[in-house]
Chain A
Amino acid sequence: MDTIFRGFVEALRLIVELDRSLVEIVGLSLQVSGLALGLSVLLGVPLGVWLGMRRFRGQRLAVATIYTGMGLPPVVVGLVVYLLLSRQGPLGQLGWLFTPRAMVLTQTILSLPLVAGFTMTAINSVPPGLILQLRSLGATPTQVTLTLLYEARAGVLAAVVAGFGAIISEVGSVMIVGGNIAGKTRVLTTAIVLETRKGNFDLAIALGLILLGLTFTANWMLLHLQGRFESTR
């Protein structure tokens, strides 16, 4: 208990003093996970809508692949991306290894299936006759899609929340492909691992509390966004 209390005090001190390395670490965490989430939404929402609306040959396979992707172990993704980006690997030319780009790449791979999968489920939950009804009211294919997204908005938002939650708290892949280099690729989760190993439990707890606070704030903002959706109906 004592450690947690001291961690709490330490967290407050770091925040109040705007500790420079803390600001850097938080900034990079948000930047990497934010960018990865943005990419996942950009690709995953259309993919989820498409899978939710269309029926095609091989759909089961595609869905099973996405469901598997929803439970990918971050360390394994990190390892594979590491091998791809290492100097001898097929993408070694890029020189991305141990840079934030590599971290964005692994986190996108981790969150994309979550965003696509939950979006698909949300679209599937819209009554099947609705598409016909919308078309008969004169909707173009694009208008049908947008209306379905609107009807499924709570589920799509949950998809975004799930995608964010999975990567902001993830340590395995960013540790492997980022390398936890101070001032360069150190994020909150890798910093916590490091401080714990060094025995700086106060600092580790402080970083943990900041991570929790950050996740909470992000989710609260997303829910607020949903509330605004609700009130504009």
Chain B
Amino acid sequence: MSDSPLLLLQDVRHRYGERVVLNVPRLSVYAGELLALVGPSGAGKSTLLRLLNFLEAPTEGQVCFHGRPYTPATIPLAVRRRITTVFQHPLLLDMSVRRNVSYGLRLRGQKDGREQTEQALEAVGLQALADAAARTLSGGEAQRVALARALVLQPEVLLLDEPTANLDPANVRVIEEIVTAAIRERRMTIVLVTHNVWQARRLAHRVAFLFEGELLEVAPTERFFEAPQNPRTAAFLRGELVY
């Protein structure tokens, strides 16, 4: 981990109409770390990911990548393409599994992506289903394809929005293993949104707690769970927070 953050939110306030959905004075994401964002539904976690992917511009404040502020309008395509998101619902395209996985490579005009595609399919254990139509897959399989579709791009930053929310334990484990391997072997930077604190504990280097749009606590994983500073973090961890 270097000192200057890879991604940085500064004085961000985000509104939908009159409602402030996010109020984050400062949040850093460092290269090579896995930062978990936890918090109850409606806390602003998914909104935060959209800002980090430059899919939406904050109403106020700025989002910096490699120390430079960008907005969706100003970010160069090549820079934007170094960040990608896997959403909660896989939303695969109506084509074969293989073509879904290679979709992002084709967007980038890469014609020699065959080998990378096969590697990505192997990584998520779906080589046998490569020629199957994506719409015939089960939920867990579809989410693995969505993950492969992102990993094949070798993004610098991978944003995961509740990737295991609707999956059975076996598929959760498979996906967590893939994520861990991505960090270990490719030094990918990952921001994981989850409402499952146990998953955050298993995977993250640091954990951030978001509540009603406010960032209440950010700490290394162990300290976050063992000695939370904010009483509401503690209440959330005990499962006592009413939401």
Contact = CB atoms under 8 A, between A and B. Distances in A.
A138 B84 contact: yes
A31 to B, nearest CB: 35
A132 B104 contact: no
B108 interface: yes
Nearest to B85: A136
Size band of the interface chain A makes with B: 10 to 19
Smallest CB-CB A-B distances: 8 pairs? A138-B81, A136-B85, A233-B95, A137-B104, A133-B91, A138-B107, A136-B53, A130-B91
9 contacts: A129-B89, A130-B91, A136-B159, A137-B103, A137-B107, A137-B149, A138-B80, A138-B104, A138-B153
Given A127-B91, A130-B91, A233-B99, A135 B107 contact: no
A233 B53 contact: no
Interface string A92-134: 0000000000000000000000000000000000010110110
Interface stretch (A20-28, A34-42, A57-65, A139-147): A139-147
B94 interface: yes
A220 interface: no
Interface string B83-120: 11101010101111001000110011000000000000
A5 interface: no
A216 interface: no
A89 B95 CA distance: 52
A143 B107 contact: yes
Contact of B153 (A129, A133, A137): A137
Interface of B: 50, 53, 55, 77, 80-81, 83-85, 87, 89, 91, 93-96, 99, 103-104, 107-108, 133, 149-150, 153, 159
A130 B93 CA distance: 9
A21 to B, nearest CB: 47
A136 B150 CA distance: 9
A147 to B, nearest CB: 7
Contacts of B107: 137-140, 143
Residue of A129, A130, A137, A143 ringed by the most chain B CB atoms within 10 A: A137
Residue of A143, A147, A233 ringed by the most chain B CB atoms within 10 A: A233
A133 B104 contact: no
Residue of A130, A138, A233 ringed by the most chain B CB atoms within 10 A: A138
Contacts of B103: 137
Given A138-B107, A151-B93, 7 more contacts: A127-B91, A132-B55, A132-B87, A136-B85, A136-B159, A139-B107, A233-B95
